[in-house]
Amino acid sequence: MLDRVAAGARVGGQKAGWGAARLAGRAASSKAPTHGEAVAKKLYVKTFGCQMNVYDSARMADVLAPLGYGSTTEIEDADLVVLNTCHIREKAAEKVYSELGRLRALKRVREKGGNEMLLAVAGCVAQAEGEEVAARAPFVDIVVGPQAYHRLPAMVARASRARRTAVDTSMPAESRFDHLPEELAGPQPGRGVSSFLTIQEGCDRFCTFCVVPYTRGAEESRPAAEVEAEARRLVAAGAREIVLLGQNVNAYHGAAGGETDAGELDLAGLIGRLAAIQGLERLRYTTSHPRDMTPALIRAHGEEPKLMPFLHLPVQSGSDRVLAAMNRGHTADRYLRLVEALRAAQPEIALSSDFIVGFPGETEVDFEATLALVREVEYAQAFSFKYSARPGTPAAERDDHVPNDVAAARLSRLQRVLDDQKRRFNAGMVRRTLPVLFERRGRHPGQVAGRTPFMQWLHVDGDDALIGSVALATVIDASPNGLAGALAGSAGAPVNARDGTADMASMGGIPA
Ligand code: SF4
């Protein structure tokens, strides 16, 4: 399962050339305006949930760019509003309906002014609810599941003429990766100094609490040659770090696709191939399943300098009884042995995890086993949630649900332990000098912010020119949410992205 990100991130596509997207050209060939007919329209995408949704929002902006859609940060001005939804949290669908209620009022205001506002619901709620959205919110123009984003331009082109909601939640037999645009529509969230790149979608693991196998379909890996081509485009556009995404990313097994290579690459092989790209400084991947951590991938953490020493490896519970009920396919001991192997390969590796507290049937003894595992691992950060039933999943059918107050009390006990660990981890960085990839301006004027190899945000006083480069910074202060530091030595001098050693051959201040 992917890491969660702050809900409500906005994304919008920039206008792109008409030849930009082979997908849109194909899908909307009969509807797309010609050069002369291009009309600038405004797109507002609100993204909920995980990095995969952030990436998908950028994909939707890409495929809509050839129809003339560019981004806006003002929802009132939007000709098309897309809610890219997440189904992972409790009452997710209800939250979407209440958001739609607010949008309906905006749509009316725009229509009174003689303007159109198309409303689209995308993402996992769209996939799970489908026609239900059309029935409950008939003013919605488009309901589109994650497997059908390539058909969005055609749906949008038809929507202004249609009087009923168009719903497409099909899971096509053809590869979902066939439809990605070859050119990118411009800088967007998830695209920048650190860029997301989806290499795998869907999941065959069927954890009993999870909707992903139903909403995203069977596991599918993108051919390595295509991944490499997109990575090269991202680097050419300014990316210095690429985060490889997949619902179960370490199950990756893509066709190699080279001129002479008819075989398959696993994730370790793909990382090796991408690491050869000049100008790419850092690689990360998320989210992994413990069962798919191969020896080769563990070794890569010790051997590949561009692979950052941070791993999100969800365990969910420390109780073997609960892990079996979740259909996780591993025990607590197996997970701990993996952690041991990872630390043997890369002693500095920082670990993160997901936890579900109050899974049906979880006893106090089970919960204590989770606390024991957490104490043994010592995490750098983690995401923890109370179990919430997802309709249609096996766990939702169980009749031994843990009372809410019990689950809430356990969650706060767990979070206290995890918060302490995070505080300790960050405090342990003080006085260390780390290579930081600067990604954006900081909160205050004259500040820039970047990530350490261990995924912590670090702020320094520095010039905008640092953005897009790796520079050394000495950590001065730490809080649970990040680090403050000062540039060390020659600001902006290129350094080894992982261990901070200066690249003496190129000390000319070239962006890394
Ligand atoms: S591994 Fe389990 S939790 Fe993760 S996406 Fe697959 S089914 Fe969901």
The pLDDT value given to residue 163: 62
pLDDT tens column, 249-274: 999 999 987 655 668 999 999 999 99
Q: Which amino acid would we find at residue 359? A: F
Joined tokens for residue 428 = 């342990």
Q: Please determine, for residue 29, whether its predicted confidence score (pLDDT) is greater than 60.
A: no
pLDDT tens column, 138-157: 899 999 988 788 888 888 87
DSSP SS3 for 368: helix
Query: Is the bond preceding 73 in cis, omega lying within 30 degrees of 0?
Result: no
The pLDDT value given to residue 133: 87
Q: Please tell me which residue, 446 or 148, carries the higher pLDDT value.
A: 446
* Closest ligand 1 atom, residue 216 Cα: 5
DSSP secondary structure letters along 294-336:
-HHHHHHHHH-TTB-SEEE---B-S-HHHHHHTT-S--HHHHH
CATH architecture of 9-176: 3-Layer(aba) Sandwich (3.40)
* DSSP H or E run through 236: helix 224-236
Q: Does the beta carbon of 199 lie inside 6 Å of ligand 1? A: no
Burial of 416-450, coded b for 16+ CB within 10 Å and e otherwise, reads: ebbeebbeebbeebeeebbbbbbbebbeeeeebbb
Q: Does the beta carbon of 289 lie inside 6 Å of ligand 1? A: yes
Q: How far is the CA of 233 from the centre of ligand 1 (A)?
A: 30
Q: Does the beta carbon of 84 lie inside 6 Å of ligand 1? A: no
Q: How far is the CA of 211 from the centre of ligand 1 (A)?
A: 8
Burial of 475-484, coded b for 16+ CB within 10 Å and e otherwise, reads: beebeeebbb
Which of 215-229, 363-377, 491-505 has the weakest average pLDDT? Answer: 491-505
* Distance (Å, whole) CA 392 – CA 406: 24
Q: How far is the CA of 435 from the centre of ligand 1 (A)?
A: 33
* Distance (Å, whole) CA 111 – CA 221: 43
DSSP-assigned letter for residue 108: H
pLDDT tens column, 158-191: 886 666 677 777 766 556 666 555 555 444 445 6
Q: Does the beta carbon of 210 lie inside 6 Å of ligand 1? A: yes
DSSP SS3 for 271: helix
Q: Does the beta carbon of 206 lie inside 6 Å of ligand 1? A: yes
Q: Does the beta carbon of 248 lie inside 6 Å of ligand 1? A: yes
The pLDDT value given to residue 90: 59
Q: How many helices (H) and strands (E) does the chain have?
A: 14, 22
Q: Which amino acid would we find at residue 281? A: E
Q: How many CA atoms lie within 13 A of 317 on its CB side?
A: 31
Task: Work out the mean pLDDT of the chain and round it to a whole number.
Answer: 83
**Structural domain spans, the chain:** 9-176, 192-308, 344-427, 433-506
Q: How far is the CA of 293 from the centre of ligand 1 (A)?
A: 14
The pLDDT value given to residue 8: 38
Burial of 105-133, coded b for 16+ CB within 10 Å and e otherwise, reads: eebeeeeeeeeebbbbbbbbbbbbbbeeb
CATH architecture of 192-308: 2-Layer Sandwich (3.30)
Work out the percent of the chain whose per-residue pLDDT is above 70.
81
Closest residue (by CA) to atom 5 of ligand 1?
1
Which residues are within 8 A (CB) of 451 and not within 5 positions of it... i.e. 6 or more apart? Answer: 194, 241, 436, 437, 439, 457, 458
Q: Does the beta carbon of 313 lie inside 6 Å of ligand 1? A: no
Q: Please tell me which residue, 68 or 297, carries the higher pLDDT value.
A: 297
| 72 close to 43: Cβ distance less than 8 angstroms | yes
Q: Which CATH class is domain 344-427?
A: alpha beta
**Number of residues written out for the chain:** 512
Closest residue (by CA) to atom 1 of ligand 1?
205
| 39 close to 46: Cβ distance less than 8 angstroms | no
CATH of domain 433-506: 2.40.50.140
The pLDDT value given to residue 495: 52
Identical fold for domains 9-176 and 192-308, yes or no, is no
Q: Does the beta carbon of 434 lie inside 6 Å of ligand 1? A: no
Q: Does the beta carbon of 41 lie inside 6 Å of ligand 1? A: no
pLDDT tens column, 381-435: 999 999 998 888 999 999 999 999 999 999 999 999 999 999 999 999 999 999 9
Q: How far is the CA of 294 from the centre of ligand 1 (A)?
A: 17
* Distance (Å, whole) CA 436 – CA 477: 15
Q: Does the beta carbon of 212 lie inside 6 Å of ligand 1? A: yes
The pLDDT value given to residue 4: 43
Q: Does the beta carbon of 247 lie inside 6 Å of ligand 1? A: yes
| Of 68, 77, 73, residue with least CA distance to 21 | 68
